[in-house]
Amino acid sequence: MACIRKLGVDVIADQATATLLGNDVPVLADANAVARAVEVLLVFGGDGTMLRAGRETAGSGTPIFGINTGHLGFLTGANLKQLPEALEQLSLGSFRVVDRAVIEARGKVRQQAFDLLALNDIVISRGASSRVIDLEVLVNGELLTRYRADGLIISTPTGSTAYSLSAGGAIVSPDAEVFALTPICPHTLSNRSVIVSLKSRLQVRVLNEKPATILSADGQIMQELAVGVEVLLRRSRRRVKLVQLDGQSFFGTLRAKLRWSGAV
């Protein structure tokens, strides 16, 4: 807190953050309200915290700068040791703001509509059962395939380094205008990750009654589906803006976080 105020800037926080700071700052109702009142939103935590903040403030237009206090930290821009230097760069304007696409998933279960956002991915998967599920996928109204698998990951470029990567999907540059559809443990070994345009309109239909099928947004919001339910997925009009300090890059982050050493 001291290093922030040293720069002569005003600080506003939500209640949870204000409590950590000793209630010594003005408080607004939630992250979205804070985002609309500030020039830059500082988020302390790991990728999970960044994903939640991104969803809650999507469309606000306020850039987010993450300070990693977690583990991997793909979405964060600095760690706690780097914070004073990072704040100095922010105050000098030595950064750029990059847009990240957001997925919107809509559907209706038992006459109850749902509308979820995800910065990383939407995952449709089996529940606690070990049985595979059956999903039919259409792209712009045309049948792509019917998957028999543990599930399907629909990821943004941002989410390509998350669950999709673990399931064998490609790493996608954040500025690529694509979705990646990656099956989880498909019954047919020829099923591979499929890349489609971000402008695509995706429909996923649940074909099985059992086992239970679950939709999750960024692994944090869950929605149970039912046989016959159709989920419509597309790029949201809302975007998340992230701060990238001068000297930082996506490929540099890949090399550091994934510990790529390259040729010797």
Instruction: Examine the pLDDT at 10 and tell me if it is beyond 90.
Output: no
Residues paired with 120 in a beta bridge: none
Asked whether residue 194 is assigned to any structural domain, the reply reads yes
Using 50, 70 and 90 to split pLDDT, how confident is the model at 23? low
Host domain of residue 55: 2-101+239-257
- CATH number of domain containing 133: 2.60.200.30
- CATH number of domain containing 32: 3.40.50.10330
| pTM for this predicted structure | 0.91
Read off the pLDDT of each residue in 252-258 and give the average, rounded to a whole number. Answer: 86
Identify the pLDDT of residue 245. 93
Identify the pLDDT of residue 253. 86
Same domain, 7 and 84: yes
What lies within 8 Å, CB to CB, of 182 at 6+ separation is 152, 153, 155, 164, 167, 168, 169, 193, 194
Q: How many angstroms separate the CA atoms of 24 and 16, rounded?
A: 12
Identify the pLDDT of residue 109. 92
Asked whether residue 262 is assigned to any structural domain, the reply reads no
Asked whether residue 202 is assigned to any structural domain, the reply reads yes
Same domain, 63 and 130: no
Instruction: Examine the pLDDT at 20 and tell me if it is beyond 80.
Output: no
Identify the pLDDT of residue 211. 82
> Is the separation of the CB atoms in 85 and 178 below 8 Å?
no
Same domain, 108 and 227: yes
10 vs 42, more confident: 42
> Is the separation of the CB atoms in 98 and 241 below 8 Å?
yes
> Is the separation of the CB atoms in 190 and 103 below 8 Å?
no
pLDDT digits (tens, 9 = 90+) for 136-189: 999 999 999 999 999 999 999 999 999 999 999 999 999 999 999 999 999 887
pLDDT digits (tens, 9 = 90+) for 29-55: 888 899 999 999 999 889 999 999 999
Same domain, 200 and 163: yes
**How is residue 169 annotated by DSSP?**
P
Asked whether residue 196 is assigned to any structural domain, the reply reads yes
Residue 214 tokens read as: 């679950």
Using 50, 70 and 90 to split pLDDT, how confident is the model at 1? low
Identify the pLDDT of residue 262. 63
Same domain, 249 and 224: no
Asked whether residue 245 is assigned to any structural domain, the reply reads yes
Q: How many angstroms separate the CA atoms of 178 and 24, rounded?
A: 44
Asked whether residue 163 is assigned to any structural domain, the reply reads yes
What SS3 state is found at 70?
coil
pLDDT digits (tens, 9 = 90+) for 89-137: 998 889 999 999 999 999 999 889 999 999 999 999 987 777 899 999 9
Q: How many angstroms separate the CA atoms of 140 and 221, rounded?
A: 26
Same domain, 115 and 228: yes
Phi, psi of 115 (to 5 degrees): -150, 105
Q: How many angstroms separate the CA atoms of 36 and 130, rounded?
A: 44
Give the total number of structural domains in the chain.
2
Q: How many C-beta atoms lie closer than 10 Å to residue 98's C-beta?
A: 16
Q: How many angstroms separate the CA atoms of 240 and 157, rounded?
A: 13
Same domain, 245 and 157: no
Same domain, 86 and 29: yes
Same domain, 80 and 166: no
Instruction: Examine the pLDDT at 263 and tell me if it is beyond 60.
Output: no
Catalytic machinery residues: 47
Using 50, 70 and 90 to split pLDDT, how confident is the model at 8? confident
Same domain, 231 and 125: yes
Same domain, 124 and 210: yes
256 vs 53, more confident: 53
Residue type, 141: G
Asked whether residue 121 is assigned to any structural domain, the reply reads yes
Identify the pLDDT of residue 29. 87
Asked whether residue 263 is assigned to any structural domain, the reply reads no
Same domain, 173 and 252: no
Residues paired with 138 in a beta bridge: 143, 203
Identify the pLDDT of residue 264. 46
Identify the pLDDT of residue 94. 92
